[in-house]
Structures are given as structure tokens and as C-alpha cells.
Structure 1
Amino acid sequence: MDQTEARAAAKVADRDRLYIDGEWMTPLDALPMPVQDPTTEEVVAHVPAAGSGDVDRAVAAARAAFAPWAGLSPSARADHLDRLLAALSSRAEQIAATVSIEVGTPIKVAQRVQTGLPLLVLRDYAARARAGFEPETIGNSLVVREPVGVVGAITPWNYPLHQVVAKVGAALAAGCTVVLKPAELTPLTAYLLFDAIHEAGLPHGVVNLVTGSGPVAGSALAAHSDVDIVSFTGSGATGAAISRLAADRIARVTLELGGKSANVILSDADLAKAVKVGVGNAFLNAGQTCTAWTRMLVHRSVYEDAVELAATASAGYVTGDPFDPATRLGPLVSERQRDRVRNYVDKGLADGARLVSGGPDAPVPARGWFVAPTVFADVDPDDTIAQEEIFGPVLSIIPFSDDDQAVEIANNSRYGLAGAVWSADEDRAMAVARRLRTGAVDINGGAFNPLAPFGGYKQSGVGRELGQHGLSEFLETKSIQR
């Protein structure tokens, strides 16, 4: 199958309905919203840009469905999730191709990460739903867990199925009902999920889809008086705005926001592996990953060797069509995002960082929203490119003199989402990892665990997703004295 055939296999087409109360419904008053392919710059489909009236309908459906869904036995809810998993799994190939069209993720990564990961997460939540929630006895109290209620889920564009499943799967397993507002740049993947939801026969109103813009549909959902908890993933500025909207009614909020993660390479590390894996992490999904290790901190004794290794590794990231097997770096998701990343590259040069590879003059495809994989060395820890989340394929390399300084530089950030430590001495690596003010740390390339809690410190967010900790965000705790 060539690139044109692979793109056509996604079967991308206009969608003119919203999914509310178990049916595909015509929006009340919605203009068509374009969806663009960042590789070709072409509009490939339209979806409705729904308004507050459609959000009202979706929330009302979720509220009506809440008590019956919460009242189901754990095994009955699990059966529904198992059927959803089967229906979603049957669409895996189409989902991966659609993500490659909407986001620009290289197809192999889209198959493995963008599709495979959320299927694993949904399988886990189906199992947790079946297990139920055993009450706890504390003295004369019986402590029980109950679903929070109606969930307003607002999700980002960079992982358009995984971020949805992390919220929807947990909420449904907990016994909550959901209204989903996916990112306006990548709604087509959400439609495939709801095709699967419809096929699986989930009860009417349990999960509802409202597409549209953040300022209109997203704000209406976050501010809605009948939404009990808002679960948001995205930028810090939008997360703060959502918190304010929810605060007016004292609604619960979980936020998974930005990151500026440090990859700390100590003096005794396997340098070649640490740099290679670090560059790959920073450039995953064209750098459009909140956990990306975009700051590479390297001990001075091996610093110049690391810079050279990073330049060599960066050269292997070929930009191009995500359906081309040779492509390792797709486009940025939008023209606006491409321009934003280019501005950060220019800022890095203006601030005096040493350009090691890439940069504004590096060749990229003439068509599409591409930025060349870019590596800066000699970056000051306080420079803009070392402090702000760029969300593109831009890596900053920073030297340090000892472990204490490495920790100080790593923690010199308003974010605290992820990070890494490399050392031949695992105890030394663990000691540094424990000192990092961040929600997750990988030691010597430890693999991402989708069943472990995910979330951040500081301005990287509030609450956790994935596994039992993610499920707990959608549960209330009640004490019954007897």
C-alpha cells in the first residue's frame, strides 16, 4: 500500500452530527468546522462547531443516565466496557491512519502509541470495573466509594484517542457518565471512538460527544451547573480558565497541563544510550508531547561528547509524509503551532544558544507545517527555550558540575510533569530521582507504565490519570457510622 492508498484507507469524511443520548443528532445551530491535514495543508473534513444549547442537551442526557449507570453491578459495567474495547479494537488500523492525518504522527508510531496504548488502558479499566470497589471498615464506620456524577471531559489534540480513553474509561469504570469535548484540531478520531460506542450499545446518555471550539463549547461545558467534575488536559492558561469557571459552583477539577522535563545524565551514565533515548523522547510526535524531555542536563566531563552524539541522533530524524515508512518526524499539527515553534527557535538563537543541528535554515518539505529537528547546546537554565514549553522538536542541552547542581537546574521550572535520570549506579540515580519535583521519573530508560499514576507537580496540573489513581479521581468517599 503506497502513501496515497494508506491515507485513503482512513476513510476521512465530513461528520455533521453530534452523539447525544445514544443517537446521532443534528446540532441545534452549528456551523461546519474544518479539519486540516498538517502534511498537505488541505481541509479533509468538516465537523459541527456546537454551541451552548448542544452542550445543555448533552449534559441533560448524561444527568438522566447517571443513576441507572451508577446503579449497575460492577460486572455489568465491565461487560459494556469489554464490548466497547472489542468495537474499538476492530477499528485500530483506521484509527492509526486517522491520527496520522489529523496530527501528522508517523504511521508506525500512530499504530504503536496513538492506538495501542489507549486500547491497553481501556482493557485495564474494564478489568477494574469488574473488580468493583470493596468497602473499608474503620472502627464503627463503613467507608464506601461512589461515583462523582457527570463528567465534563475536555481533551487535547496531541494524543487524540489516548487522552480521551484515559478520562472516559476511568469515568465509566467508576460509574460516572460523560460529556466529551475533543480538541477542535483533531475531532475525527473521537468520532471513531463514538462509532465504537454506538456499536457496543452503551446505554443512552452514558457517553455524549459535543465537538466545537474551546471558547464556546469547552467553556459552556466547564461552566455548566450540572457538571460535577471537569477533567481537562491542555495548556496552563486554559487550565486556569477552566478552574475559575468550575470554582463558581465548587465543582471538582482535574488538570493535566504542560511540562518542561529534564533528562539528567550523570557522569557515570551509559552516555550513548542516554543521549539516543533522550533525543528520541524529545522528538516523539514531533515534540508535541507534554512529558517530552526537552532539557538534556549533562555532566561537564562528558558534555561535548553528548552534544556530538545528540547532533548525530538528530540527523536521523527524517521529516516527511507520516505514511512514508522512512519518516521519523512528521509535521506540527497546525500552521499556528509551526509558527510558534519557529519563533522559539529564533529566540534561542537571539539569546546566544549554540545551534548544533536543525534551525531555521535546515531543509524541510516545502509543503506542510514542518520544523526541522533542532538541538541547542550551551543553553542557560533561565533562557526562554529552557523555561517555556515549546511543544515542538527542539532540544536544549545544559551542562552541570555535580549532582546537586543537576537537581537545582532540573527543579528550576514552574512545571513538574516528568523527567529522567541516567547513572551506572542505580542507588545514585534513585537518590537524584527522589529529589526531582516532578510527577514521574524514568531511571536508565525505564518504560512508560500506563497502569501507574500520571500527573504533575506545580503548574503541571492537579490530580492523576491512569490506573487505580486515575479511577479514584472520579469517586467520592462516604463514611457510614453504625
Structure 2
Amino acid sequence: MSISSNAEPSSLLDKQFINNKWVASSGTRMLDVMNPYREERIAQVTAGDSQDVQAAVQAAQQAQPGWQALGGAGRAAYLDGFADGLEARRDTLITLSAINNGKPLAEAGIDLDDAIACYRYYAQQARTLDARQGGHVSVAMEGVDARCYHDPVGVVGLITPWNFPLVTSAWKLAPALAAGCTAVLKPSEVTPLPEQVLAELALEIDLPAGVLNLLNGDGDGIGAPLTNHPGVDKISFTGSNRVGETVMRSAAARTASVSLELGGKSPILVMEDADPAQAADWVMAGIYFNAGQICSATSRLLVHESVAEALYAALAERMDALTLGDPLAADTDLGPLTSAKQREVVQHYLALAEQEGLTVVRGAQHRTLPARGYFLAPTLYRDVPVESRLWQEEIFGPVLCSRSVTSEEEAIGLANDSAYGLAATVISGDPKRARRIGRQLKAGSIWYNSEQLVLPETGWGGFKRSGIGRELGPWGLGAYLEVKHVVGPLDR
């Protein structure tokens, strides 16, 4: 089950990682794993079932008390071990992400660096956790001793998406382990290959048995029984709103805790004092990274009418210069979409745009696509009505919708007029103005005059339909902790 040095995955991954052992799955089906550039099957993974979930949860339950008793400093050493192991496999994992996800090599490298930084950050957080235990709480009543403790939630089910496998698993697994939780991790069945390394590393660093269990399978076989299992104390899910709502209903039936990072339809505001050339670079990075398959993609462009034409010209020039091709080629800027299914989803929206008569600045008619691969042309529509489904709904592909505005107030109003609130970007020649506008936007992460800087120290999560809870930063650790107060008379 290990990843070979040339990053070619095993053709058959028919086992589950439970209690530090690769064991035969009770599931009988196999799922194809595709290379989205070659449109070829590169592996098959088992489609696990509820019996696999039962075994994994039982192993996690048995391991949790000992893992908690190890203390934060002890757990931190293992988190550093995960970071070291990922670093040692850097070239292999970058290549594997390109093969399984369709990411260009440069983007895959950014993903891996972010994952490594996350494990190191939560190793530091784990070390500070011991010192916070039993801290005195100031109370007004005399003669009372009040102390605060932070206990792990318990066994957690972690369900990750296909667009950023190693990153999103790090965002969940690192804080969960730092807090003293044990985990059952379900990678996406679309891109399960990069995350298999986590099981390999668990054995390499001698992680106690049962602390991490990794189950391959789809939503019906693994996802549903995991979210419904009475032994799972918390579910952390990243993915679509449709599935997230199902997860929330399952957790509600047993009052289990949930963290949900769901969809987005993020705005990017370009004000009249912005430099159009520089703004174009930031707009490009916000929508065409990972072929637009990013929940925080700034897919709604609001540009002041005085700089709109200059910005559209700059964007068209940059879009024409993008190289679409083999993710393993050093000069590739934009790879294929990760699956045929996702390409079909985006094609549906492109068909809607044609029906609605949207104005195309750049699109399929301006680009010859590679002969193979799940490619779509980077697309830009201008003057998109707010009633358009393309303006309102998450597309999750390389499609940018734009409108011009006449004032700051109009830009803010349109930016906030969305069911989502994950992220936003503000571009202005005046940093103070950009920050002031950012404070008025209803979203969890606001960037100004920059690309999307996602840091382990800053929280991640959304307002409104973009989810519940926060990942990253101390808030990400807190999501896996229960607060306990012990109160009584002062010692005499």
C-alpha cells in the first residue's frame, strides 16, 4: 500500500487502514481512480462499507484515552513526524497530486507546503495546550476556586474533498490529533491516492494503534455510516452544500458536533483607484488557480466602471497567455478539471450562459483545447445580470462572472448580496480604504491587494451557507476541544 518513489500508484488498493494494519475490506465493490489528463484509470480502491466503519470507530475509541493521556507535548512529536514525512516525500507527492488531481506541478507544490506548515503549526499548539490546563478563572464571588480545562471531543470523523486532498486532511487531522482526539479519515473516492501516505507515515512514526484510521470508499458506503455512527463524537466535513446538509441532519439526530466548510460564491472588488494591470494578476489568481475548483474562488468580479475596460483588456491578454496541458509539464498553467463529472457540471453552466445570452470576453471560442483530458477553456463573462444562475450559484470551474459598478456602496451591496460568505478580495490603491471596505463584507476571510493568503495561523470558514465553525488557527484547535470548568471552595 506504500507510494513508490516514482509516484506511480499501486493499481489495486483493496485494503483499509484500521488499528495500524492494512486489513481486507468487508466491501466487495471497487472504485476506479482516474488520471484526468490521460482520461485513464490509474488505480482501483475498495469501496468500504459499514462494517469497515464499525471496526475503525471501535479502534479509535479504544485508542482515545491513551492518546489523550499522552499530553500535548507528546502528541506534538507525532505531528512533527507527519510534517517531516511529507517533506521527505515532497517530489513524490507533488507528482502524485498532478497525476490524480490534474494540478500543475507548481500548484501541487503549494498544496504540499501548506499541509506541512499546518502539521508544524498544530505541533506548536499542542505544546501550549498542557500549560493552559487548569487555569484559574476570575470570578466575582469570594471564596470560590474556578479552573478551566480543555478536553478532547473524542472520536472524530473527518471527510475531505477531492480538490485539495493533502491540505484539507491536514486542516482536520492536525488539530484533531493535537487536541487529543482519535480519527477516522475518509478521503474522497475521486482523489484518494495522495492521502494514502498518511497511513504509511502513521506506521513510520510509530503512531499508537487506532489513533488514525483511514477508510477508502464513497459516500454511501463510508460517509453515511460514519456520520450516523453513535461512537463518533464529531464530524468535520468539507464539500458541497447538498452533502453538508445531509451530514448536519445525521449529526443532529444524536446531537453530535459538526464543522462544515461548504460552498462559496466569493466576490472580488476592483475599485477606481486600482492599477488595472496589477488587479488583473490578482483576479486571475483568485479564479483560475486549480482550474477554478476552489471553494474560495473569487468568481464574482465587481469592477468600477472607470477601470472596467482596461481591466477586461488586461484579463483577456493574460487568459490568452495561459498554457493548458499536461500537469507534469513545467510550463503548464492550467490543468484539466479533476473528473469527467465535474467537467459536465461546469459545461451545464456554460450551456445556461449561452441560453441567457451572456456576453463572453473569453471562452471556448477563443481557445483550442488539448486533444485529451477533462479540459475547459478559462472563461470570462461581463455584464452578468444578478438574476443569472451563473452569478448566484457556485460553478466550481474556470468561469468568472463580472459586473461593473458606479460606486463603493454599490460594490459592497452586490458583494454581500449572496447566499454564501466564505471569502472576498478588495483591490484598491489605498490600503486603508481596502481594509475599511473589507470590514463591511460578510465573509470569513477577506484579502486586500494580494492573492489568497491562507495561513495556518488565521482562521478559515464562512458566513451564511458557506458553513459552520472555523478551521486553522487556535479556532481550528478549539473545534476539537470541549471546555470544562471545575468549581468549588478555595483551599483553606
> Is TM-score (shorter-chain normalized) higher than 0.5?
yes
Q: Using the alignment, how far apart are the partners of 1:307 and 1:361 within structure 2?
A: 15
> How far off its partner does 1:424 sit?
1.5
Q: Tell me how far apart the structure 1 counterparts of residues 485 and 126 of structure 2 sit (CA, whole Å).
A: 21
1:324-343 equivalences under 5 Å are: 324-343=329-348
- Name the SS of the counterpart of 2:306 in structure 1: helix
Q: Does 1:418 align with 2:423?
A: yes
Q: Which residue of 1 aligns with 2:76?
A: 78
Q: Does 1:211 align with 2:221?
A: no
Partner of 1:137: 136
Q: How does 1:333-482 map to 2 (within 5 A)?
A: 333-359=338-364, 362-445=367-450, 447-482=453-488
After superposition, the C-alpha distances for 1:409-440 in whole angstroms (9 at most, x for unaligned) are 10111110011001112222122111110001
Match runs of 1:158-197 below 5 Å: 158-197=163-202
Equivalence for 2:279: 274
Query: 1:193 & 1:89 partners in 2: Cα distance?
Result: 12
Structure 2: 5+ residue stretches without partners: 140-144
Larger deviation, residues 338-347 vs 128-137:
128-137
Quote the offset at 1:308 in angstroms.
1.2
CA distance in 1, matches of 2:356, 2:313: 21
Match of 1:127 in 2: 124
Give 1:137's aligned amino acid: H
Amino acid at match of 2:392: Q
Shift of 1:73: 2.0
Q: Residue by residue, what CA displacement relative to the aligned partner does 1:44-86 show, whole Å, maximum 9, x if unpaired?
A: 0111100000000000000110111011122111112222222
CA distance in 1, matches of 2:454, 2:204: 31
Distance in 1 (alpha carbons) for counterparts of 2:48 and 2:316: 46
- Contact 1:349–1:355 (CA under 8 A) maintained in structure 2: no
Q: CA deviation at 1:361?
A: 6.7
In structure 2, do the counterparts of structure 1 residues 69 and 360 end up closer, same or farther at CA, with 3 Å as the change threshold? farther
Secondary structure of the 2:486 match is: strand
Which residue in the other structure is 1:248 paired with?
253
Deviation at 1:8, TM superposition (A): 8.8
4+ runs deviating over 3 angstroms: none
Q: Which residue of 2 aligns with 1:118?
A: 115
- Preserved CA contact (<8 Å) 1:314 1:375: no
Answer whether contact 1:20 1:209 (CA < 8 A) is retained: yes
Give the counterpart letter for 2:114 in structure 1.
L
Q: One-letter code of the match for 2:478?
A: S
The equivalent of 2:142 in structure 1 is none
Would you say the 8 A contact 2:302–2:402 is kept in 1?
A: yes
Asked if the contact 2:5–2:92 (Cα under 8 Å) also holds between the matched residues in 1, the reply is no
Q: CA deviation at 1:290?
A: 0.6
Equivalent-residue separation in structure 2 for 1:460 and 1:277 (angstroms): 22
SS in 2 for 1:254: strand
**Comparing 344-353 with 131-140, which one deviates more in the overlay?**
131-140
> How do 1:22-171 residues align onto structure 2 when only pairs under 5 Å count?
22-111=20-109, 113-133=110-130, 134=132, 135-138=134-137, 139=139, 140-171=145-176
Separation (CA, whole Å) in 1 of partners of 2:475 and 2:298: 24
Residue of 228, 232, 244 corresponding to 1:223: 228
CA shift, 1:129, in A, is 1.1
Contact (CA 8 Å) 1:422, 1:444: kept in 2 or not? Answer: yes
TM-score by length of 1: 0.96
Aligned partner of 1:196: which letter? Answer: L
1:277–1:445 Cα contact (<8 Å) kept:
yes
Q: Which string of whole-angstrom CA distances, capped at 9 and with x for unpartnered residues, describes residues 121-140 of structure 1?
A: 11111111122240432223
Aligned-partner SS, 2:199: helix
Given that 1:37 and 1:102 are in contact with CA atoms closer than 8 Å, whether structure 2 keeps it comes out as yes
Identity of aligned residues (%): 39
CA offset digits 1:241-271 (Å, max 9, x no partner): 0000111100000000111110101111122
Alignment root-mean-square deviation, CA: 1.4
Structure 1 residues 120 and 276: CA distance shift in structure 2, 3 A = same
**AA in 2 matched with 1:114:** D
Cα distance in 2 for partners of 1:381, 1:29 equals 46
Task: Return the letter of the residue paired with 2:27.
Answer: D
Amino acid at match of 1:75: A
Distance 1:323 1:332 in 2: 14
Q: Number of paired residues?
A: 475
Give the whole-Å Cα distance in 2 for the aligned partners of 1:23 and 1:320.
39
Deviation of the 1:220 alpha carbon: 0.6
- Corresponding position of 1:264: 269
Q: In structure 2, what is the Cα distance between the partners aligned to 1:176 and 1:270?
A: 48
